[in-house]
Structure 1
Amino acid sequence: MSKTTSENAAPPGRWMLQDAKARFSELVRRVHSEGPQHVTVHGRDEVVVITAADFRRLSGQLTGSHLIEAIQSSPYRDMDLDVPREAMPVRDVLL
């Protein structure tokens, strides 16, 4: 006797691969309403589906915004720095 999908259903937030493929639109809606959704293959977590905004935040795409915020909020941002510069040798370039 074969098991039906309801008897074999994964817990909330977890999708068997075949269910994730068949109900992909629902999986995407749940990512937005319930958070990350795990997709399993042979009972093991294989991938986690997250929103694009979460992916950008977690992958740390470099925008420079954190550095700009840190500099702007620094109590020393108006301090003048006298940074000595060393003369660098220039080499001849043939064009």
Structure 2
Amino acid sequence: MANPVWTLQDAKNCFSAVVEAAVRGEPQKVTRRGKWVSVVLSAEEYERLKQLDQASAPSLGQLLLEMPQDDGVFTRLPVAPRDLEGV
């Protein structure tokens, strides 16, 4: 079944029907001024999507390994004595 598209006003007026359809596994699209702005999902579907997203997120170690390495283009600037005051 195609997922219905609700205007924001209609979704507000029929919120129980929107939620019931989402609970049945039918995501409900909501538009505002003709632009698609929201989807109402069941809590079960939301949790499933959240777990998928977390499972595909890179770990900190992966992010660190993917960082560009110093290729010699940038060199360290010498530390001026004033930078060490109060250390």
State the identity %. Answer: 37
TM-score normalised per structure 2: 0.53
Aligned-pair CA distance for 1:32: 2.3
Unaligned runs of 5+ in 2: 55-87
Q: In terms of Rg, which structure is larger?
A: 1
In structure 1, distance between residues paired with 2:25 and 2:47: 18
TM-score normalised per structure 1: 0.48
Aligned-pair CA distance for 1:34: 5.3
1:14-73 deviation per Cα after TM superposition (whole angstroms, max 9, x unaligned): 1000010111001111112351000000111100000001101101187xxxxxxxxxxx
| From 3, 6, 19, the counterpart of 1:28 | 19
Off by >2 Å, runs of 4+ in structure 1: none
- The structure where helix makes up a greater share of residues is 2
- Match of 1:60, SS? helix
Give the paired residue count: 52
Aligned-pair CA distance for 1:12: 5.4
In structure 1, distance between residues paired with 2:18 and 2:33: 19
In structure 1, distance between residues paired with 2:34 and 2:19: 21
Unaligned runs of 5+ in 1: 1-10, 63-95
- RMSD between aligned alpha carbons? 2.2
Which structure exhibits the higher relative contact order, with contacts defined as CA atoms closer than 8 Å and separated by 6 or more residues? 2
